[in-house]
Structure 1
Amino acid sequence: MAPITRNTSLKALQTRLKALLGMFDDIYRFVDSMGEDTPATAATVRLEKMDELWDQINDATMEIEMQDDFDDDNEIYSRKRSEFGDRYYRAKSLLLEKVKEPEEKLNLSNTNQQPTHEDVRLPQIKLQAFDGNIDEWLSFRDLYLSLIHCKTDLPEVEKFHYLKGCLIGEPRSLIDSLAITKANYQIAWDAVMKRFNDSKMFKRRQVQALFDLPNVARESVVKVVDNGTVELATLSLPVPPLER
């Protein structure tokens, strides 16, 4: 993200924003003109450039609104930001679909050429919600890391959408004040990890669980000693080993 400065004139910033929006419009026109014969590589390079433009346009708009001579009553920039966001997400989803087309066609071709009985469609895994219950943290963390956080092909801003959708109550309140942007995703995830990923807390829970184990039952049996006297003896049942 470029540093915000007030040394640049409002007119210069407006000119810069206009140029950036013009570059984005070129990509948007390309998306509207895509067809079956459009190569996936052409979509890939524009997808990379579009993410860069997203950051630059948002920075330029913010710099304009922070200028001393900016008219606070002028809603044109907030409207432009909203319109740009809608167009950005539409264009990005269409570009992602175009990039994935060759891979899907290759998978379909391989399936048709080499049918096997092992080709079983696995059920979709549903993301787990987390409401702050520490007993559920590890299962939530590991599943979220596998399905969302560690996916290198998933944009950070989309990961942020998934993260907010999974959290309830206290965990959600930790990140509610953060805008859903690429830059804020790692900040949000770090905040959740710092609050709940406490190894000392897990050890205390394990020790407490040991103390909460039910008492082992004991049984009394009749025992006859050598002189014929009958006595009661206590029989201790074997304790199964704890699972690790």
Structure 2
Amino acid sequence: MTENIQNLKTLKHKRGTIKTQITLFQKFIDNFDTSNVNEKDKQNIKLRKEKIEPLYETFEEIQTEIELLELELNQDVSCEGTERESFSNAYFAIVGTANNILNPAVKEIESIVDANSIVQGHYPNSNQTSHNSHMHVKLPTITLPTFDGTFTLWREFYDAFTALIHSNNSLSDVQKLSYLKSSLKNEPVKNEPADLIRSYDTTSENYTIAWTALQKRYDNKRRIITDHVQNLLEIPKINKESHAALRQLINQTENHIQCLKSIKNRMQL
């Protein structure tokens, strides 16, 4: 009993440390003038964001251990759901803000989503309608990001889905889960992300569970690194001189190398 109590205190201390790191990152982002961010600022934000990205999974593991210990100690766990929700909201809000600063194009896409209701079944409220009436250009239609289970494409899908859907406070969790399921391709020759969450009913409480399950499966740095290296080794050789073929070779090589550098930076921080 005494050992469990001490373990519970230790876990809550670790949880508090993670929450503090998120708060510090929030304060760091708040100090930026988002209309005047230079490349040095972006690099600083990028490195800090990569450092906190693994904290979500760590928090989930610690939170689960806390709840199990509290149940074992016959303590009230009713407030733990609020802990999860509060952290999740804070985490994805600040990560979404950082992504918007780093990639203004994603922020523009979010605006397009809100302005044109391109997500099927989502309609603007009266304030949005009023705002749209002042727009002088017809914005292009975009589609939801998709993911087929290719590990090397996970981060691209994760960032896009987070910006467009996960951080969209106008959507309910039921809607988010519906869009998540629609975003997953069912490719028989690959790991099938659609099958991973197919058994989850489209309910509010299942959205976070399904989204976390996908992260645990595909945010696998070792597998992603292995696949990038394998893809590098499998780049076709140029059999005869061709500017187009040479450019394609360079682009493919630089793409995989840049992805590997990004993963390395996240692992070192």
Q: TM-score, normalised by structure 2?
A: 0.44
Q: TM-score, normalised by structure 1?
A: 0.47
Query: 1 or 2 for the larger relative contact order (CA 8 Å, sep ≥6)?
Result: 2
Q: Could you say which structure has the higher strand fraction?
A: 1
- Which structure's CA Rg is the greater one? 1
